[in-house]
Amino acid sequence: MPFKNLIFIITILWLGVSCKSEKEPQPTNPGTPSSFGFNRLKVNGIYSGFKYVNLNVNLEIRFTFSAPLTSASIQNGITFKSAAGENIAFTSALEHGDSSVVIKPSANLVYLTNYSVVATKALKSKAGGMLLNEVKVDLTTSIDSTNKFPVLSDEALLTLVQKQTFRYFWDFAHPVSGLARERNTSGDVVTSGGSGFGIMTIPIAVERQFITRAQGLERMQKIVGFLKDKAEKFHGAFPHWLNGATGAVVPFSTKDNGADLVETSYLVQGLLTARQYFSENNAAEVALRSDITKIWEAVEWDWFTKDGGNVLYWHWSPNYNWEMNHQIKGWNECLITYALAASSPTHSITKTVYDNGWAGNASFVNGKEYYGIKLPLGEPFGGPLFFSQYSFLGLNPTGLSDRFANYFDQNRAHTLINYNYCKTNPQAYNGYSAQCWGLTASDIPNGYNANSPTNDRGVITPTAALSAFPYTPAESMNALKFFYYKLGDKMWGNYGFYDAFSITDLWFADSYLAIDQGPIVIMIENYRSKLPWKLFMSNPEVKSGLKKLGFRSPELN
C-alpha cells in the first residue's frame, strides 16, 4: 500500500507541473494597430448624403472618424479633384481631439463645376491604424449669380433676342437656296419645316429694321424660286430634308425619303404669311405672290388621305409608298396641317377627315387638372411645349375655339402645367426653378428627346419658355432674364441662345436647330405686336378653311 500511494503522489505532482507549464505566457508577435471607421460628414455644416449641389465656391467639408488622426497623413489621405481630374489645393485642420478634419479649398472653386473629395485608406490614426473604407463626396458648385451682360430694358432685351436669333436664318441660310439649314452642322442639308419658320421671321425683321424691305423681298425671291423650280416634290408636298444646293431629297430615314405633309404645312404656313406681307402692287411683289400661290395650290392635301380615307397620312415615299403608315392624329403639333388641308382652294379635305382623323371623334379630350390647372386637350401634363407653338405661329389662338376647346386657354394651361412642373421639380433635377423652366423637344447629352413632364431628362430648352411669351409673359420674361443674364456666358452665341442645357449634367449644347430658333423670333413678335398672327389669319383661304372645320374667332367674322 505504501508503494501504491507513492506512485499516486508522483502522478499528481507530474500532472500539476504539466498543467502549470501549459498556462504560462508564450512569446507573442508585435500587435497590429486597430483599423478605424468613418462616423460623420458635413458640407457647409449640413449632412444630406454624399452628393451636394448648388454649393458656394468657398466651401467646407468636415469628416469625423472613430479615432484621432495624424496630421501628417492628411495630404496623402485626402484627395480633392475636379471632374477633369485636376488636383485642387486645399487646407486642412484637425478638431475635436483630432478625430475631425476640416477641408477647405485654398482658392475659390469654379462655378458650375463638379468636384469630388475622397477620404482614402492612406489616412492614418495616431495609433497607426488604417481607414476601413474610403469615403467619397460629390460636390457641384452653383451658378454664378452675377450678370454676364449689362442690364437692358425689357423691350430692348426682347429686340436683341429677336435680332440675334434671326441671324440664324439670315446669315447662316444656305447660300444657293436661301433655305434654313437643319442645324448649325448640317452643311447642305436644309429643312422644309424650319425654312417655313425662317420665312415667317423675314416680315418681323423688316418691321424691326434688322433688314430692309428690299433685302427681305430679294431673299424671298431666292427661296420661292428654288422651291418652285428646283426642290423635289411629291404630289405637291415637300420632303423633310432637301439638299440646299440641288433641291434633291435628303432622306430623313430609310423610308422617309418622299413627302412629309407636316413639314410641308409648316413651310406653307410661312409662305402664306409672306404672301400677305409682300402685298404691294409692284411687279416684283406681284410675281412673288403668284409664285407662292402656285406652290400652295399644288399641294394635294386630299391625296394624303390614302385612297379617300378619313385621316391624313404624314409620309409618302416613291419607293415605299405608304409603308410608314403614320396617321396624323391629335393632340400634338399638327393642327396646322389639318387647317391648311381644309383651306386649300384646289385639294381640300372634308370636315369628316378632320373630325374622324385629327380629333379622333374627340379621343384627344383630356379635361383633367394638373397643379390645379385644367387641361382641355392632349396627353397627361400636356406633352412637350412645341405642341402649343408650331401650329400657332400663324394660327392665332386668341378667341379661337371650336366644340373641343378655346385654344388660347388650351395653350396657356399647357404652358403653365409645364412651368409648374419645373418649378415643383418632382425629380429633383439641379437648376429647375421658377426662372429656369421649359421642356420641349431638343438636343440632350448624346442625343435628342421630346422632353416633357412625363419624359424628362433634366434638360431645359430655352425655346420652350421663350416661344410661350404670348401665353405666359411674366414667367417667360423671368426665364429670358435668367438665360441671358445668369447663363449668358454659356448659352448665348452668334445666333441667340444655344439649343439646350442641363445643370444636373453640367452640359451645355453648342448646337442651333432651325425648328427651335424660329419660334423664338415669331412668338415673341406675336406677344409684342401680333404681326405673324395678323398676316397669316388675313389669308382668305385660311378663313374659309377654319370656318369649314367649325372654328370660331373674331378674325373669322
Least confident stretch, 33-37, 70-74, 505-509, 512-516: 33-37
Q: What is the chain's mean pLDDT, rounded?
A: 94
- What residues contact 321, with CB distance under 8 A and at least 6 apart? none
Residue type, 553: S
Shared-domain flag, residues 346 and 403: yes
Listed residue (124, 60, 117) closest to 98, CA to CA: 124
HSE (side-chain half, CA atoms, 13 Å) at 298: 17
Give residue 2's pLDDT band: very low, low, confident or very high (50, 70, 90).
very low
- Euclidean distance between CA atoms 290 and 274, whole angstroms: 12
In a domain, 9, yes or no: no
Share of the chain above pLDDT 70, in %: 94
Q: Which residue has the cell 452628393?
A: 51
- pLDDT of residue 478 exceeding 90, the answer is yes
Listed residue (516, 496, 517) closest to 164, CA to CA: 496
- pLDDT of residue 104 exceeding 80, the answer is yes
In a domain, 285, yes or no: yes
Shared-domain flag, residues 44 and 186: no
Shared-domain flag, residues 45 and 160: no
CB 120 within 8 A of CB 131: yes
CB 472 within 8 A of CB 500: no
CB 78 within 8 A of CB 103: yes
In a domain, 377, yes or no: yes
Shared-domain flag, residues 79 and 176: no
The count of structural domains within the chain is 2
In a domain, 301, yes or no: yes
CB 433 within 8 A of CB 490: no
Q: Are strands 135-141 and 51-55 parallel, antiparallel or unpaired?
A: parallel
User: 94, 109, 141: which is the final residue of a domain?
Assistant: 141
Work out the angle at residue 304's Cα, subtended by the Cα atoms of residues 347 and 551, and round it to the nearest 5 degrees.
60
Q: Where are the beta strands (DSSP E) in 290-423?
A: 315-316, 365-370, 373-377
In a domain, 61, yes or no: yes
* Residue 320 grid cell: 415605299
- Euclidean distance between CA atoms 59 and 343, whole angstroms: 63
Secondary structure of residue 118 in the 3-state scheme: strand
Shared-domain flag, residues 132 and 162: no
Shared-domain flag, residues 115 and 166: no
Task: CATH number of the domain at 278, please.
Answer: 1.50.10.140
CB 207 within 8 A of CB 522: no
- What residues contact 465, with CB distance under 8 A and at least 6 apart? 419, 437, 438, 472, 475, 476, 479, 480, 483
**pLDDT digits over 338-367, tens only?**
999 999 999 999 999 999 999 997 889 999
Shared-domain flag, residues 381 and 301: yes
Give residue 304's pLDDT band: very low, low, confident or very high (50, 70, 90).
very high
Work out the angle at residue 121's Cα, subtended by the Cα atoms of residues 117 and 125, and round it to the nearest 5 degrees.
105
The whole model's pTM is what? 0.91
Secondary structure of residue 250 in the 3-state scheme: coil
Shared-domain flag, residues 180 and 55: no
Shared-domain flag, residues 111 and 258: no
- The per-residue pLDDT for 32 is 59
- The per-residue pLDDT for 362 is 85
Domain limits for position 73: 38-141
Task: CATH number of the domain at 132, please.
Answer: 2.60.40.3710
Shared-domain flag, residues 442 and 530: yes
User: 106, 141, 176: which is the final residue of a domain?
Assistant: 141
Q: Which residue has the cell 428654288?
A: 226
In a domain, 12, yes or no: no
- pLDDT of residue 542 exceeding 90, the answer is yes
Neighbour-count burial for 429-463, b at 16+ CB within 10 Å, e otherwise: bbbbeebbbbbbbbbbbeeebbbbbeebbbbbbbb
In a domain, 502, yes or no: yes
Shared-domain flag, residues 251 and 362: yes
Q: Which residue has the cell 424660329?
A: 518
In a domain, 366, yes or no: yes
Report the residue count for the chain: 557
User: 141, 162, 179: which is the final residue of a domain?
Assistant: 141
Listed residue (554, 539, 522, 544) closest to 273, CA to CA: 539
Give residue 557's pLDDT band: very low, low, confident or very high (50, 70, 90).
confident
Shared-domain flag, residues 191 and 136: no
- What residues contact 3, with CB distance under 8 A and at least 6 apart? none
Listed residue (463, 465, 472, 461) closest to 527, CA to CA: 472
- pLDDT of residue 1 exceeding 60, the answer is no
